[in-house]
Structure 1
Amino acid sequence: MKPRQADVKLRQMTEADLPAVMGIERNTFPMDAWSEGMLRGELADQPRTRHYVVAIVGEEIVGYAGLAAAADQADVQTIAVDHPHQGTGIGGALLTELLAEAGRRAAREIFLEVRADNPQARGVYEHFEFEVIGRRRRYYDDGTDAIMMRRKLDG
């Protein structure tokens, strides 16, 4: 049985979470997974310019997300939910947390890139009022384009 969003707890990501996070990273993004070193680098900038969270169901990390923020702009760095937990609202909960953090940091807009061949993720972002602003040709390692999206924040 898939968990309900209410069963999910979010907390700040730590280096101790990296083994579980890397497993989800490699399963979710097999063609262009980040390295553990890249994620360690992101965590090293937390909380100064980064905000990373994990989603936990029971005792298990089932998703994670990260935000970069500087001045009045923020960027969704990554969002991933383990396959058995996709479609349960966890991705939405993670994105809601990133949007809230961008607001706490006084960002006026938030940007992201999503794979052109991932309509499910793009649909989630559109549901959260992100708009398409461009395309980055052959952005991903396998040659897939990225769709650039932006959401203006109240401020």
Structure 2
Amino acid sequence: MIEKVNDINLVLPFIKKYFPNYIVENSPYEKMFCYKEGDNIIGFISYSVIYERAELNYIVTDEQYRRKGIGQKLLDYAIEDLKNNMVENFSLEVNVNNKVAIKFYLKNKFEIKATRHNYYVDGDAYLMVREVR
């Protein structure tokens, strides 16, 4: 089941497991949702919405639950939320070497628009964008 995250402290241990450098910003533009099975958090998505644009901050599924459609459900939920809020474009950055993620995003109508050189400490990122409408 997908739930809105109202208290970041409840999902912070899960987030830190996959993103050790995650910094809590409490941005009024950020929306966060988690996928739970019982009381266990097994997926998480975070994106920021500013006017007609949105940017994916994080999406992750617990390792033992990967390839079961949870990431897809989270992304579908986010896109539906963005449609309901009149967002036009959804963008993200992904490491050029993360072939699994790139394939997932391409399947979900994101297009590679540019390469951001030295975006990560260890390499480049693709800027990927999709229309939401």
| Residue 140 of structure 1, CA deviation | 1.2
- Partner residue, 1:10: 2
- Partner residue, 1:102: 82
- Partner residue, 1:147: 126
* 2-structure distance, mates of 1:99, 1:130: 12
- Partner residue, 2:14: 20
* 2-structure distance, mates of 1:10, 1:144: 33
Where do 5+ consecutive residues of structure 2 fail to align?
Answer: none
Please point out which of 32, 35, 43 is paired with 1:52. Answer: 32
Note the alpha carbon deviations across 1:107-126, whole angstroms, 9 max, x for none: 11110111111111111111
**1 or 2 for the larger relative contact order (CA 8 Å, sep ≥6)?**
1
TM-score w.r.t. structure 2 length?
0.90
**When you count helix as a share of all residues, which structure comes out higher?**
1
| Residue 21 of structure 1, CA deviation | 2.6
Where do 5+ consecutive residues of structure 1 fail to align?
Answer: 1-8, 27-32
How many percent of aligned residue pairs carry the same amino acid? 21
Aligned residues: 131
TM-score w.r.t. structure 1 length?
0.78
* 2-structure distance, mates of 1:102, 1:89: 20
Give the CA RMSD over aligned residues: 1.4
**When you count strand as a share of all residues, which structure comes out higher?**
2
Note the alpha carbon deviations across 1:41-82, whole angstroms, 9 max, x for none: 1xx23xx41110111123211110111011111111110111
